[in-house]
Structure 1
Amino acid sequence: MRRLLVAAGAVAAITVAGCGTTATPSLQNAQLSAAEVIQQTAKKADDVNTYAADLVLNVTDAKGGQGGVVQGTMLYQKTPQIASDINLSRVAFNGQNVPGGVRVIVQGDVAYVKLDMLKTLVGATKPWIRLDLKQLGSQAGVNVDQYLAQAQQFDLKTSVALLTASKDVKSVGSEQVGGVDTTHYSGSFPVDEAVKQLPEDQRGRLQGEIANAKDVKFDAWIDAQGLPRKVELNGGKPDAGTFKATAMFKSFNEPVSIKAPAADQVGELPQTLHQPSGTGS
């Protein structure tokens, strides 16, 4: 169960890893190299206030010879406050399905989690559980703090930093993605170097999720505005498990609706799980 929860949430961090990092000087009226395009995409991503994306993650588990799949959607907004709505309609690992999938709505420092199995695991009586992200790290008995933090922290701009670590990115042609003309770029990046592109407080969390991958191959489809329309990541080791993550970005800077669940549908985390480690009977 721990793995199901973490993997379901971590898909948001992995699949959007295609856009955002430090800005570079503008190269107006110049033919940009592939590496410069990725840098310019990062700069463009900084101006994106909202986006909507479809997410897919496929993994293999070398230990059991089985794998899993996560599919869903994501809405994100930067202002007036950071908010996201991650709806993972399909979550299955090693032949086990998560009934009803997983949905996480984050608004500022508050997260709302909808997971049917919480009724069995923690005795939840409402469809949704409200979590204070400021306090979650100190709560014992629940292991969802890691993926909730990722849902809040890994936005479009932050996650593109990974691609800028590539030394071999190149253009491989022109294609349409969702009816939009794009240029297809392909390359790879060493995980150790890519993680260094992130703020220090985020490095350990991401590094833990892709620890099995020494190098990650990627494909990015960038439109005429310099924004990514599709990003694919492939990584891992055959003897330790592999993953393929895909994000299809459907819109940028268009209105999105991210609302908290109705109050009568929301419960609090049971008090038995709020006890600090080492306390209780």
Structure 2
Amino acid sequence: MLKRTMSMTAAGAALVMAAVAGCGSNAQPIQVNLAASEVLTLAAQKTAEVTSYTVDAVVNLTHPQEGSGTVQGRMLYQSKPQLAADVTLDTVNFGQRSVPGGVRAVLQGDTVYVKVEALKELVGATKPWIKVPLKEADGGSGEVNELLSRIQQFDLGNMTQLVTASQDVKAAGNETVNGEDTTHYTGTFPVDAAVQQLPADEQEQARDHLAELKDVKFDIWVAADGLPRKLAMNGAKDGASLDATLFFKGFNEPVSIQAPPADQIGELPKDTTN
């Protein structure tokens, strides 16, 4: 039961964090006469430089055997002075199962702290937080390790690189996103070609993450500084589907990501994998 709950938590959160775990920016305005494909290329370059941001995300997914589910939450991210993320998932459900009380996860360097209310009943945890060093995450916490590896290995810069593989991107008008003027671009990208845009050491995991999808449709809303304020992606294959919408703000603004108090942290029991 624990393994199923942790797997649900990780699978849902991974879909969110795979798309949000890093981005970058310059504040120089983009040129209005750039072609749509050039805007995406420029956005990919700019997102690679952002050191912090905030994202709100909703992910709806369907699996041919497991049913449908929703993950909804928010994330604070920073890359300097060390990699850190604070993720709150208010809704994590799939099929007939859910994670009561949601999920909270704090990543600092090579350690993740996870807070899942269900762990108290499942393993008799006496502390609200569980500490999982990434290098030791195996067995029942393997899903957590997979989740966190995606934080480190995927970022918004990479997601923007994926959309640069589009051969049909076009401008779809000017729209306001959270009070900011943006230009809306829409298109599709083939998964195989898109993955080739990423660094060689990240292509395998990206391919695994997108394996259930075929051609992915995307919409991206880019502000005058060349940074995306909203990203929507959806795709389907053989009864599986993904529909994700993410809103970004607070680029390069200071964030405070702290580990939980020491007296609130416990260890994940070794015998909870069955």
TM-score by structure 2 length? 0.88
- Asked if the contact 1:18/1:161 (under 8 Å) is kept, the reply is no
Counterpart residue number, 1:119: 120
Counterpart residue number, 2:139: 140
Q: CA RMSD in A?
A: 2.7
Segments of 5+ residues of structure 2 without an aligned counterpart are: none
**Residue type of the partner of 1:179?**
G
SS at match of 1:141: helix
Partners of 2:258 and 2:152 in 1: CA distance: 15
Counterpart residue number, 1:245: 244
Counterpart residue number, 2:205: 205
- Asked if the contact 1:181/1:224 (under 8 Å) is kept, the reply is yes
Partners of 2:30 and 2:193 in 1: CA distance: 29
SS at match of 2:101: coil
Alignment of 1:3-42 (within 5 A): 3-16=7-20, 31-42=33-44
Q: CA deviation at 1:209?
A: 2.7
Q: CA deviation at 1:119?
A: 3.0
**Residue type of the partner of 1:96?**
R
Q: Is 1:45 the counterpart of 2:44 in the alignment?
A: no
Partners of 1:36 and 1:265 in 2: CA distance: 49
Q: CA deviation at 1:14?
A: 4.5
Counterpart residue number, 1:257: 256
Alignment of 1:16-95 (within 5 A): 16=20, 31-63=33-65, 66-95=67-96
Q: CA deviation at 1:33?
A: 1.0
Q: 1:13 to 1:192 in 2, by over 3 A?
A: farther
Q: 1:19 to 1:217 in 2, by over 3 A?
A: farther
Q: CA deviation at 1:246?
A: 0.6
Q: CA deviation at 1:127?
A: 0.9
Partners of 1:28 and 1:242 in 2: CA distance: 33
The count of residues paired between Structure 1 and Structure 2 equals 267
- Asked if the contact 2:191/2:216 (under 8 Å) is kept, the reply is yes
Q: CA deviation at 1:3?
A: 4.4
SS at match of 2:263: helix
- Asked if the contact 1:15/1:57 (under 8 Å) is kept, the reply is no
SS at match of 1:32: coil
Q: CA deviation at 1:222?
A: 0.1
